[in-house]
Amino acid sequence: MITPGNPVPDFEALSTGDKTVKLSGYRGKYLMLYFYPKDNTPGCTQEGQSFRDNIEKFIALNAIILGVSRDSVRVHEGFKCKQEFPFDLLSDPDEKLCQLFDVIKMKNMYGKQVRGIERSTFLIDPEGLLVREWRKVKVKSHCEEVLQTLYELTSN
């Protein structure tokens, strides 16, 4: 498991836009990696829309956004297109990224215990260090929390 203040191991994942994304490809920029349970669900849609609607603020702060779930690239493509997300979505069907960031948890769904992604966000600095993590994210105020952290980091 990765903890704040430590380097994030380089990883590779399939992405929308028919790309293979590597963490090392984002050196020199902040990378906000947000994990969410499932495409086309209300909370995940709202979270992505919030990041979409604030994309210019992230760009101004030298930050790239990438979303991650276990959905396939094909499903991601439809979700990204429908919601007009200006950022890529990574597919993690084998849960390698989910395990690296320790976001797979047992959750209650309709009275049953199921394994699923705990909504979480990780902010990686331009040198590849994890500088901040948010777990058990509440969608409503989350985008502003991340932006506030970026403002603080970039104003020093």
Q: Could you read off the pLDDT of 87-125 as tens digits, one per residue?
A: 999 999 999 999 999 998 877 767 888 778 899 999 999
Q: Which CATH number fits domain 12-154: 3.30.465.10, 3.30.420.40, 3.40.50.720, 3.40.30.10?
A: 3.40.30.10
Give mean pLDDT, residues 38-57: 93
Give percent helix, percent strand, percent coil of the chain, each to the nearest 5. Answer: 35, 30, 35
Annotated active-site residue 44? The verdict is: yes
Distances from the Cα of 19 to the Cαs of 22, 42, 129, 134, in angstroms? 10, 27, 23, 27
Which pLDDT value is given to residue 107? 75
Residue of 44, 81, 98, 143 marked active site: 44
Which pLDDT value is given to residue 130? 97
Task: Tell which wins on pLDDT, 152 or 110.
Answer: 152
Which pLDDT value is given to residue 42? 84
Residue 35 has pLDDT above 80, yes or no: yes
